[in-house]
Amino acid sequence: MWMRSAAGVRRLGTAGALAVAAGGTAAGALPVREPWGLWGTHGTTVTTAGAVLAYAGLTLLVLAWWAYGRLLAGDGREAPGARYTVVTLGWWAAPIVLAPPLHSADVYSYIAQGAMVLEGHDVYAHGPSALGPDSLGADAAASVGGNWTDTPAPYGPVFLLLAKAVVWATGGTVVPAVLGMRLIAVAALVLTVWAVRGLAVECGADERRALWLAVLNPLLLLHVVGGVHNDGLMIALMLAGVLLALRGRPSAGSAVVALAVMIKSPAALALLFIGLIVVRRGEGPLVRRLVKGLPGPGLMAVAVVVAASLLGGTGFGWLRTQSVAGAIHTPLSLTSDLGQAAGLAARALTGAELATVKGAVQTFGLAVALAAIAFLAVRTLLPWRGRPPLGPVHGLGLSLLVLVALSPMVQPWYLLWGTAAVAATAAAWDSPVVRVLMVLSVGLVYETAPSGHTPPHGFVLGALACACALVALRRGATSPPSPRPPDRRSPPLPADRRARQGVQAPLDEGAPCRW
């Protein structure tokens, strides 16, 4: 019975998060050197037991998340509200905040890169191995994964300056430096909550369900809070910028999105859709509105990027390092897997270079992604086969998902790029896209081990979790509802206020944004 109450589900998820954190203390992505002795490595027996505990806790967390979604699908009084959901997020995230890095060692790269900037190294020409043994980030650099030791930073100057500030404040000592980077991740989580709630209200979606899929998601808890990935900060700034644009401040929104671009470059897609928001709100012929409205967000972003790159002192090297990650093969990348198979076949048959064939397939995948994004952009302006235009925010979410699906490098947490935008605008929760996001969120949390490695059993566990989620959906275990009104605590704008703000009635398909 307790699984049918919001309080019971909250406790179950909290217990799972506690187990994830406790298990991660023994089996997480522990540093190679750590002078305080808090996150030291252990023997095989303790490490194995910690991994089992962490996996068990993760399963409890996933079950609690799924059960919470089932409660939201109900119409009774037991369905929790948006405020309850946000508090539940705090309960589930709190145990993970003080844990060592979980399911990824990327945070050590961040710290090492911050130390490189602090010491005057060119992070866009050298990897963390450039740090000497007496450097502030030496311990973090020693803990960087093998693939990234000599890899230049693909991140923009804003993120590197944040990492530099953390290293300066903590002296580069591993534990406080990791916790400092995690503080940034928690701040990004708070900003994401604000942006998702605002977008849901603006677009007439169910605020509670949007928060459930976008931020209560165990994939986000595991990789943004636990793994401290900077994708969380990129997503937060990107969504905040789009929300500002929806509220009639496209210039400010474009400037905020520019900051997101200088965390990770995929956020640049949001500039296109902010431009489309401006175009849709304009008057006159479509061509004139496109000429007047579409370039503005990009020009504003360029100005912010140039100013930040010059003032930050890191230069523009990040523009040439965007492809460095693609050189590393990730099994979740469809185009990389197909390219690898085609390259092996071509080498056996014709003696062709594997890298050449693989690169061609990856390039073709990106071309297809760009074509699909262009189509989605057009769909936000024009009807299609009798259907009204897409909402720009929904189009942004779908575009990011397409980009991830056809990218030459894909990590589990990349799914989060477009999930929040789709969640904040999805009025039809029984749509195929939402169901796919639910299933993948359940499966992808198992792909990496607590240590950050990608073992074969991770794919087995992920496939089993996806299969269970599909069965649960078929049996109506979550029963995603039809479009329903937003949470009572966040009502839509009244008609008179919409009129004063020049907001028009909903026009979009699925989850209409108010203009």
pLDDT band, very low/low/confident/very high, at 9 (cuts 50, 70, 90): very high
Q: Angle at the Cα of 231 (from 295 to 430), degrees rounded to 5?
A: 85
Sole residue written with tokens 């185009």? 335
What pTM did the predictor assign?
0.90
- Each residue's pLDDT tens digit, 383-434: 888 788 889 999 999 999 999 999 999 999 999 999 999 998 876 677 889 9
pLDDT band, very low/low/confident/very high, at 508 (cuts 50, 70, 90): very low
pLDDT number for residue 182:
97
pLDDT number for residue 320:
82
Q: Residue 493: is its pLDDT beyond 50?
A: no
Angle of the 82-97 helix axis to the 207-214 helix axis, nearest 10: 20
pLDDT number for residue 498:
39
Q: Domain limits of the chain?
A: 106-172
Provide the CB-side half-sphere exposure for 482 (13 A, CA). Answer: 0
Diameter over CA atoms, the chain: 71
- Each residue's pLDDT tens digit, 305-349: 999 888 888 888 888 877 776 667 788 989 999 999 998 998 888
Rounded CA gap, 312 and 315, in Å? 7
Residue 211 · residue 193 · CB < 8 Å: yes
pLDDT band, very low/low/confident/very high, at 209 (cuts 50, 70, 90): very high
Q: Residue 171: is its pLDDT beyond 80?
A: yes
pLDDT number for residue 450:
94
Backbone φ and ψ of 390, nearest 5°: -70, 155
Rounded CA gap, 204 and 102, in Å? 36
What mean pLDDT is predicted for residues 433-457?
Answer: 93
Rounded CA gap, 321 and 126, in Å? 11
Alpha-carbon distances of 81 from 186, 206, 492, rounded to whole Å: 22, 10, 15
**Stronger pLDDT, 499 or 223, i.e. the higher one:** 223
pLDDT number for residue 479:
47
What mean pLDDT is predicted for residues 131-141?
Answer: 87
* Number of helices followed by number of strands (H, E) in the chain: 21, 0
Alpha-carbon distances of 188 from 83, 143, 235, 240, 263, rounded to whole Å: 18, 25, 8, 10, 12
**DSSP state, 222?**
I
- Each residue's pLDDT tens digit, 260-297: 999 999 999 999 999 999 999 888 888 888 888 889 99
pLDDT band, very low/low/confident/very high, at 484 (cuts 50, 70, 90): very low
Residue 36 CB neighbour total at 10 angstroms: 10
What is the overall mean pLDDT for the chain? 87
